[in-house]
Amino acid sequence: MMRLPEEIALAEAMTAIAPRSVRVGCRVIRDGDEAHLLPGEAHSIPARQPAMRRASGAARWIAHELLAALGVGDVAILRSPTGAPVWPDGITGSLAHDDDMAVAAVAPIGDIASLGIDVEPAQPLPDDILALVTTFADRTDAAERHLAGRILFAAKEAVYKAVYPLDREVLGYEDITVDLNAGRATTKTGRKASLAYCVAPRVVVLAFVEKDRG
């Protein structure tokens, strides 16, 4: 299938920020992408939400390609009761989408214990949402000013996806402190995650928890 220019540009930007062991990909969501869901996957995603099924199909299509490159094939990525994807043994990964683009990241569990990803349009975050997301401890000076709020929002979403499989604790935005200057985030439980992000042609944030060597 021919890749669209925006897919090529975003894939290159994502690859540039990803750690060496992490495979990433993206796909513009297309009509009919729900057909990429494997039978078990389709059963776990509500049929009454066609937009979700299209986006989930696009994200899982990417993830299956990435898993195949790791030698893992024909494995359904089911949706858990919490909405999180269920990955094969020995694999960590994350899926995300906005209205138009789906992204995925996968890695063998090793130096990286858990992954999270989020994608957002490269547009300023509305003020009312920014007020809900930001805490006094967040640091965003390193980010482009007009996109700092959007990157912060995506970072907290990605961090939550990365830490929830490890801690099984529900967190709010106020429970995650982000330092974009240092590329780090810390949750109220003390869990630390590293961050990497790109802003063009879309905002994508990767959060990853490194294996505890203690």
CATH of domain 5-117: 3.90.470
Pair 24, 66: CB distance under 8 Å:
yes
Dihedral pair phi/psi, residue 145, rounded to 5°: -55, -45
SS3 string, the chain, reads CCCCHHHHHHHHHHHHHCCCCCEEEEEECCCCHHHHCCHHHHHHCCCCCHHHHHHHHHHHHHHHHHHHHCCCCCCCCCECCCCCECCCCCEEEEEEECCCEEEEEEEECCCEEEEEEEEECCCCCCHHHHHHHCCCCCECCCCCHHHHHHHHHHHHHHHHHHHHHHHCCCCCHHHEEEECCCCEEEECCCCEEEEEEECCCCEEEEEEEECCCC
Cα distance between residue 160 and residue 72, in whole Å: 26
Domain range summary for the chain, segments of one domain joined by +? 5-117, 122-209
Cα distance between residue 167 and residue 163, in whole Å: 6
**pLDDT for 206:** 99
What is the tens place of the pLDDT at every residue in 157-182?
999 999 999 999 999 999 999 999 99
**pLDDT for 213:** 58
Write b or e for each residue in 100-124: b if 16 or more Cβ atoms lie within 10 A of its Cβ, otherwise e.
ebbbbbbbebeebbbbbbbbbebee
Pair 111, 211: CB distance under 8 Å:
yes
Pair 134, 172: CB distance under 8 Å:
no
Name the token pair of 114: 């858990």
pTM metric for this prediction: 0.96
pLDDT along the chain (214 residues), means of 10: 91 98 98 95 86 96 97 93 94 98 98 98 98 98 95 99 96 98 97 97 98 70
**pLDDT for 1:** 66
